[in-house]
Amino acid sequence: MLTLETKRLMLRQVQVGNLNLFKKLLQDPYCLRYLPQNAPFTDIEVDIFMQRRIKHWRKGLGTFVIYLKSKPRQAIGFVGIETSPNPLYSDLRFMILKKFQVNGYAFEASEKCINFVFNSKLESQIYAVCLVENMASASVLKKLGMTKVENIMLYQALAQARLTFRMTSVQSQNFI
């Protein structure tokens, strides 16, 4: 199992034993308020979501569960870079449990994940998408050095307005 570390966090490759964390995240209306689905996942949907995260690792990259180094059994969220529904693009995804938000964990975990993907030469550019009203995620993406791009469709047309960001491996060398 692949594990990455930052100053405060451990990122571990997602596995079946992480089902409870995914239930907490994907069944919490607060955590889902900026996702297009905007409704809690059923138990079956959570299981399918997690199984897809596990399978994605066959491509060499995927989702990590985020743990606190100070409490190594405390899972606080996930971060990952995966192929988007449009297979031309890979995008950064993250979600943190409500009580652990606003501590810089999303930035710290995302930064490590991006560095892993670029340093491993798994991708030459990474995208990220968030709804316009999700100012916290947009702020994290900007802080990472990602720049807004137009006319890139990673996901099917959404009713909600969204922002798309991109970072190239060259940009990351200059920023992160």
Q: Which domains does the chain have, with CATH numbers?
A: 3-175 (3.40.630.30)
Partners of 164 in beta bridges: 129, 149
* pLDDT computed for residue 170 by the predictor: 72
Residues 46/64, Cβ–Cβ less than 8 Å: no
The whole-model pTM stands at 0.92
The residue type at 90:
S
Q: Kindly report, residue by residue over 20-30, the tens digit of the pLDDT.
A: 999 999 999 99
* pLDDT computed for residue 148 by the predictor: 93
The residue type at 172:
S
* pLDDT computed for residue 56 by the predictor: 92
Residues 82/93, Cβ–Cβ less than 8 Å: yes
Name the token pair of 80. 């990952």
Q: How far apart are CA 49 and CA 27, in angstroms?
A: 12
* pLDDT computed for residue 169 by the predictor: 86
Beta strands in 61-124 (DSSP E): 63-68, 75-83, 90-96
Spans of the chain below 50 pLDDT: none
Q: How far apart are CA 97 and CA 21, in angstroms?
A: 9
Q: Kindly report, residue by residue over 73-86, the tens digit of the pLDDT.
A: 999 999 999 988 88
